[in-house]
Amino acid sequence: MQEVLQRKIIRTDWMKGAALTFALAAAAKAVSGLPVLAILGQLVIALGLGMAYRSVFGVPETFAAGTVFSSKFLLRAGIVLLGLRLNFSHIYEAGWSLLFLSALHIIFAFTVVYYLARWFGAEKTTGFLAACGTAICGAAAIAAIAPQLKANHEQTAVSTAVIAVLGTIFTLVYTVFYSVLHLSPDQYGFFAGSTLHEVAHAVAAGAAGGQTAADNAILAKLTRVAFLVPAALLIGMVAGRRKEGADRKALLSAFPWFILGFLGMGGLNTIGIIPEEASRLLLSLAYFLIAMAMAALGLNVHFKAFRKLGLRVLLAVSAGSLLLAGLGYFLVRFAL
């Protein structure tokens, strides 16, 4: 009888932890529609709410099972569904020049931010995650790659927050200075999408140049998102080989299988099997699940972690983002 009662208590505690991440994600969803907060996006707001909740109210240890469920299982489920944003035919139609531009920007941004972070003395894993977020697609890239590196909650949350803050600043700068950049709407859209950090940032900045610029910004950004697949696969396999040796079983266990689901959902979207309305609903669910995971991360992080880990990464991402913007402007203005 006592054992049955104990199981019920454990189940209730698990539900409380998951319910808390659900409530924080719902709150983030509600406020993310506000004009200023829309630039930050639902994921980053959920992370901030989780951190604020922990600082004000604390989080009981009994909630741990529920928050771990959200930060691991729901995260992977959300990333799989996020594949519905991809349409490989659109990327193909954009031509090899856009693929080359995106690949060049990713390699440049990752290399510069990572080595600047190490030069500034930042912790290795946090710098690596921040470099991935800058290069590929912000919080979603960090969330997908963090498990491959066995990153802890603080490393993941700090790198996500740094990317969010700087991405928002750069979005505002792009919008304000659009008229003096001397770029056509086509060029400006590709510039914004190929250099800004989050999909939300690219959408917000692209809108300053009109509908054509906004469409090109989304296309360029989603081309970078497509590179999340090879990046996560490569990082997962390299990390598995380094940490667990070259044993075949170890490599298979380190393989990020959920990325194949991400790729599969992109394939389904490309061939048009899923109706447009259903696709929109599933994408909303994807962002909500990832927001729950971000809230769970925030619930496990103290604000003091930023003083310890964040400043040097902030400097590296700031410098790297400036250099990426300069490279992107040059290539779009004179190469496309």
* Domain parsing of the chain, residue ranges: 85-289+302-334
Share of the chain above pLDDT 70, in %: 84
Split at pLDDT 50, 70, 90, the class of 250 is: very low
pLDDT in tens, 266-307: 889 889 888 889 999 998 998 899 889 878 877 876 666 666
State the SS3 of the chain: CHHHHHHHHHHHHHHHHHHHHHHHHHHHHHHCCCCCHHHHCHHHHHHHHHHHHHHHHCCCHHHHHHHHHHHHHHHHHHHHHHHHHCCHHHHHHHCHHHHHHHHHHHHHHHHHHHHHHHHCCCCHHHHHHHHHHHHCCHHHHHHHHHHHHCCCHHHHHHHHHHHHHHHHHHHHHHHHCHHHCCCCHHHHHHHHHHHCCCHHHHHHHHHHHCHHHHHHHHHHHHHHHHCHHHHHHHHHHHHHHHHHCCCHHHHHHHCCCHHHHHHHHHHHHHHCCCCHHHHHHHHHHHHHHHHHHHHHHHCCCCCHHHHHHHHHHHHHHHHHHHHHHHHHHHHHHHCC
pLDDT in tens, 4-57: 444 544 556 678 888 999 999 999 999 988 876 776 678 778 878 888 888 888
pLDDT in tens, 105-154: 889 998 999 999 989 888 888 888 999 888 887 877 887 788 778 888 77
Q: In terms of pLDDT, which residue wins out, 280 or 99? A: 280
pLDDT score for 2 = 44
Q: Please, what is the average pLDDT of the chain? A: 79
Split at pLDDT 50, 70, 90, the class of 241 is: low
